[in-house]
Amino acid sequence: MSEVTLGRYLFERLHQLQVDTIFGLPGDFNLSLLDKVYEVPNMRWAGNANELNAAYAADGYSRIKGLACLVTTFGVGELSALNGVGGAYAEHVGLLHVVGVPSIASQAKQLLLHHTLGNGDFTVFHRMSNNISQTTAFLSDITSAPSEIDRCIREAYVYQRPVYVGLPANLVDLKVPADRLQTPIDLSLKRNDPEAQEEVVNNVLTLIQQASNPIILVDACASRHSCKKEVEKLVNLTQFPVFTTPMGKSAIAESHPRFGGVYVGSLSQDDVKKSVESADFVLSIGALLSDFNTGSFTYSYKTKNIVEFHSDYTKIRQATFPGVQMKEALQQLISEVSTHLNPNYVPVPVPSVNLPVTPASPDTILTQEYLWSKVSSWFQEGDIIVTETGTSAFGIVQSRFPNNTIGISQVLWGSIGFTVGATVGAAMAAQEIDPKKRVILFVGDGSLQLTVQEISTLCKWECNNTYLYVLNNDGYTIERLIHGMNATYNDIQPWNNLDILPLFNAKEYETLTVKTTGELDSLFKNKKFAIPNKIRMIEIMLPRMDAPSNLVAQAKLSEKVNLEN
């Protein structure tokens, strides 16, 4: 093959990066593009239930595989996806958003096509997406199109952000040189300025050498910008205690002997709070600060000796080093740190991670506290654990993840309903990596209603590696706690949730209800239940106002901020 169509070129490039599922919906400006998905061996078109769900699914897939592709149609399709794309932007998730747009001839003639605003403006949606994209391309010239596609894929991957590509319907079938595909897209990071990096590393080494009670605090961007190995090496070499934020959870193995727990400012476990806040040196890696990730900004370090490593800069105390990216800087730090440790440093013990389990008689009504303290015992190595904004995202903080677990939670963006879509993406990614990898969703009955139809996509692809725990507490409990405890606007229409899988024609499935501590205990002990061989929905009945204690505290802080003048 000396030439390929531009459409196929795009998908071959994605296939080279192990992006083998394409998310989205058909629409008449992308139909001929979708034909090309089927030309690439082992590539599949997910065919989601709506575009917002598709964006969520792409986000979930990217969090497992490092990059995802979403295809929508002009106007209606792309706008439906924007909240999902905004989430990927906020939370640093690599996402190529390809929009099938009208042909260049239609644009030139300003035809009043359907899916337009009826005013001949074909660039308005591109302008809107530009606000939440790392970069964009609106293709118009077949000669430069392949290099533009390469540039967009590179930026989505390297910066871990959404990138927008407008692809006119008439370009899809035009031919481009095939030999470009022989050269992989350059995905390497731009090198740091050597002098700046040298200065950073030397300053950090000096602080390390002076520290007698240092800690490492790991956050989401360490995962998203592929620095998990660097974090682990640094902990091994320094033996500093390591903590994560809620969003950073799973960035370091929680079985690591130096792992001390999850730090959430004033909402932390007492001993975690004490350990972090009494440190005389804090090495922060990949911070993605936000109210829910920091207990409403209640960080309270004793020390001013704080170093922040970010994907695009480093900060040492008050000095910012723009462009000094963490991955390379950490690698240099790792190569030099052993000879610069404080000889008097004695590794302090880390907080115990014994989870509080209150014993209960088996017919006790289940509570959030019991659920979240017990759930760790059921997790397995390699699990993907997805927790919805709400009681689940707060509850999971106190759980303990086994090795190689990946946690997915949209703590900063916090769009309710996100996890149902993200679970589809994660489950399809897991099918590609290892069909026995379990994908476990915890979602509230309120959030489930926003995106329920995406469970149909799980059924279509027979994602029999999924466990859908629906926490039924009769409405939007997180909102009740913030404001309007008994307001009817926080009520939802009650659904017969266990009828969802049969409605969607699931093939292999199981549905269960759990109401008591005894039922939960026996479920978690059931070995057959632990084997991922069907789609399972487990409805967990919980008292209406019951919530993890850290959520109750967060909600009070949030309402205060909302009403402040």
- Contact indicator for 477, 389 with CB cutoff of 8 Å: no
Q: Which two tokens stand for residue 416?
A: 């309710």
3-state secondary structure 418-465: HHHHHHHHHHHHHHHHCCCCCEEEEEEHHHHHHHHHHHHHHHHCCCCC
Pick left, alpha or beta for residue 449 (phi over 0 → left; psi -120 to 50 → alpha; otherwise beta).
alpha
**Which residues have CB under 8 Å from 330's CB, separation 6+?**
227, 230, 231, 234, 285, 309
Query: Would you call 22 helix, strand, or coil by DSSP?
Result: strand
CA distance 385 to 396: 9
Give the distance from CA 514 to its chain's centroid. 28
Identify the DSSP state of 4: E
In the block, tokens 């997910």 appear at 46
The beta strand positions in 356-514, using DSSP E, are: 384-387, 406-408, 439-444, 466-472, 509-514
Nearest of 464, 404, 412, 41 to residue 228 by alpha carbon: 404
Q: Which two tokens stand for residue 78?
A: 């792309």
CA distance 223 to 218: 9
In the block, tokens 């004793």 appear at 302
Output b/e per residue, 264-298; b: 16+ Cβ within 10 A. Answer: bbbbbbeebbebbbebbbbbbbbbbebbbbbbbeb
Position 1, amino acid: M
- What count of residues does the chain have? 565
CA distance 134 to 89: 8
CA distance 271 to 352: 8
Query: Would you call 262 helix, strand, or coil by DSSP?
Result: strand
Side-chain half-sphere exposure of 108, counting CA atoms within 13 A: 6
Q: Are strands 3-5 and 21-24 parallel, antiparallel or unpaired?
A: unpaired
Q: For the chain, how long is the longest CA-to-CA vector?
A: 75
Side-chain half-sphere exposure of 359, counting CA atoms within 13 A: 0
Q: What are the φ/ψ torsions at residue 507 (nearest 5 degrees)? A: -85, -75
Q: How many Cβ atoms sit within 10 Å of the Cβ of residue 239?
A: 15
DSSP 155-217: HHHHHTSEEEEEEEGGGTTSEEEGGGGGSPP--PPPPPPHHHHHHHHHHHHHHHHH-SSEEEE
> Minimal distance in Å, beta carbon 19 to its own copies?
17
Bridge partners of residue 513, in order along the sequence: 539
Q: How far is CA 192 from CA 196, 325, 337, 390, in A?
A: 7, 7, 19, 39
Residues with catalytic roles: 28, 51, 114-115, 414, 445, 473, 475, 479
- Contact indicator for 149, 10 with CB cutoff of 8 Å: yes
CA distance 255 to 229: 15
Position 467, amino acid: Y
Query: Would you call 519 helix, strand, or coil by DSSP?
Result: helix
